[in-house]
């Protein structure tokens, strides 16, 4: 029941070791970690090579030029040998029981696509918890994305390998929408099994850019007309405000 963990890496020298260690600490041991260096300009590549030598379950791929998160993740998906595809960015973390609990949840219920709750942290301090619904369908996800990339797992035995579209942002959201055209629901395990790192230096800019790419997903990848896209975009904005103000307190 091999799990392939896809981790794109670009200039994450100061953070990637902690990320790798969170995979090494998993209570579930049948995994491979595919690290794809996206032409980093820092010393991160040396760290990746060190861990590749330390553990045979870790594989390192190197991009010959910077390709961005979508194509870098897709290279990892293409190389994956596991039945299950999981995602973990190079600045995020997993709790030790993440894979064990989520795979038990998937296999005992026959779920092909799942996600979990996660904690948000900044500078080592937990600042909130993102709860998740029991399940979401395609239309619900168009309104608000409740699937954190660091928590998603899908089963290639049931779905095959499904890839991310080549856009700079929101490519994970677009992938979840693709998967939800193959299955009726993605199922949520409301246990905080991962930790999402908030980067204080880029919050406002990211929100504006994320909104632009959200619109692009609606129009270019979902092929919604202007009125449909506007309807879902209003919902996206509304639920985004709710997430900002009502998920801060829970720790």
pLDDT tops 90 at residue 7: yes
Q: Is 197 helix (H, G, I), strand (E, B) or coil?
A: strand
What pTM, to 2 d.p., does this model score?
A: 0.92
- High-pLDDT (> 90) share of the chain, %: 82
Domains within the chain, CATH numbers bracketed: 3-246 (3.90.550.10)
DSSP state of 198: P
Do 32 and 4 touch, CB atoms closer than 8 A?
A: yes
Q: Give per-residue pLDDT as tens, 112-144.
A: 999 999 999 998 899 999 999 999 999 999 999
pLDDT in tens, 62-121: 999 999 999 999 999 999 999 999 999 999 999 999 999 999 999 999 999 999 999 999
CA–CA distance, 118 with 169 (Å, rounded to integer): 20
The pLDDT tens digits for 192-249 are: 999 999 976 544 446 777 788 899 999 998 999 999 999 999 988 887 766 655 554 4
CA distance 126 to 192: 12
φ, ψ at 67 (rounded to 5°): -115, -10
- State how far the Cα of 203 lies from the Cα of 234, in Å rounded to an integer: 20
Is the pLDDT confidence value at 34 over 60? yes
Distances, alpha carbon 19 to alpha carbons 5, 22, 93, 129, 227, in Å: 11, 5, 5, 19, 41
The β-bridge partners of 125 are 122
Rounded to 5 degrees, φ, ψ at 154 are -130, 155
Q: CB under 8 Å to 83, separation ≥6 — which residues?
A: 1, 2, 3, 155, 156, 157
- Stated as kind and residue range, the H or E segment containing 116 is strand 113-122
| Three-state SS at 192 | strand
Q: Give, in degrees to the nearest 5, the angle at Cα 236 between 212 and 90.
A: 65
């Amino acid at each position: 029941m091999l799990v392939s963990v896809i981790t794109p890496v670009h200039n994450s020298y100061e953070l990637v070791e902690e990320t790798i260690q969170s995979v090494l600490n998993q209570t579930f041991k049948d995994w491979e970690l595919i690290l794809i260096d996206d032409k980093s300009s820092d010393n991160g590549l040396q760290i990746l090579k060190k861990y590749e030598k330390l553990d045979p379950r870790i594989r390192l791929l190197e991009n010959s030029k910077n390709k961005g998160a979508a194509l870098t993740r897709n290279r990892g998906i293409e190389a994956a040998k596991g039945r299950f595809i999981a995602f973990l960015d190079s600045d995020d973390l997993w709790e030790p029981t993440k894979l064990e609990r989520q795979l038990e949840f998937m296999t005992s219920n026959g779920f092909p696509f799942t996600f979990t709750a996660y904690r948000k942290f900044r500078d080592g301090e937990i600042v909130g918890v993102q709860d998740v619904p029991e399940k979401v369908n395609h239309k619900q996800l168009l309104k608000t994305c409740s699937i954190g990339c660091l928590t998603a797992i899908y089963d290639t035995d049931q779905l095959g390998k499904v890839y991310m579209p080549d856009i700079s942002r929101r490519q994970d959201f677009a992938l979840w929408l693709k998967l939800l055209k193959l299955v009726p629901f993605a199922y949520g395990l409301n246990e905080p099994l991962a930790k999402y790192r908030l980067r204080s230096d880029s919050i406002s800019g990211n929100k504006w850019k994320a909104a632009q790419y959200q619109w692009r997903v609606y129009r270019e990848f979902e092929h919604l007309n202007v009125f449909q896209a506007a309807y879902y975009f209003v919902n996206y904005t509304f639920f985004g405000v709710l997430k900002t103000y009502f998920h801060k307190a829970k720790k």
